[in-house]
Amino acid sequence: MRGTQNSVGAYEAKTKLAELLERAASGEIITITKRNAPIAKLGPAESPSREHLGDLFKQMDEIRAQSRLNPPGKDRLTIKDLIAEGRK
């Protein structure tokens, strides 16, 4: 059934959530609609790949490097520092 796509109304999704979760776990993608307009998709959870996680961590490092909290030439602030500062 992998790759199959069906749609259900929001009320039906609410009343049959357990069944829909089982179907999603088996690979089905279910579109949930409200007044015949799609509002959400329910599908199998996918684990991120190591490559994807590596890219995310690289992006986080780049954001941290550009942060006003860590200007070049100054000591880097840690979460612990920020928490301590907030308690003063």
Give pLDDT, residue 1. Answer: 44
Quote the CA–CA distance of 23 and 29 in Å, as a whole number.
8
Domain range for residue 19?
5-42
Q: How far is CA 44 from CA 50, 77, 88, in A?
A: 19, 39, 46
- Residue 33 burial by CB count (10 A; 0-12/13-18/19+): exposed, middle or buried? middle
**65 and 36, same structural domain?**
no
CATH number of the domain enclosing 33: 3.40.1620
Number of helices (H), then strands (E), belonging to the chain: the values are 4, 3
**38 and 57, same structural domain?**
no
Give pLDDT, residue 49. Answer: 87
Give pLDDT, residue 39. Answer: 96
Residue pLDDT tens, the chain, 88 long: 445 569 999 999 999 999 999 999 998 999 999 999 999 999 998 888 889 899 999 998 887 777 766 666 667 777 787 788 788 7
Give pLDDT, residue 37. Answer: 95
- Rounded to 10 degrees, the C-alpha dihedral 39/35/16/1 comes to -60
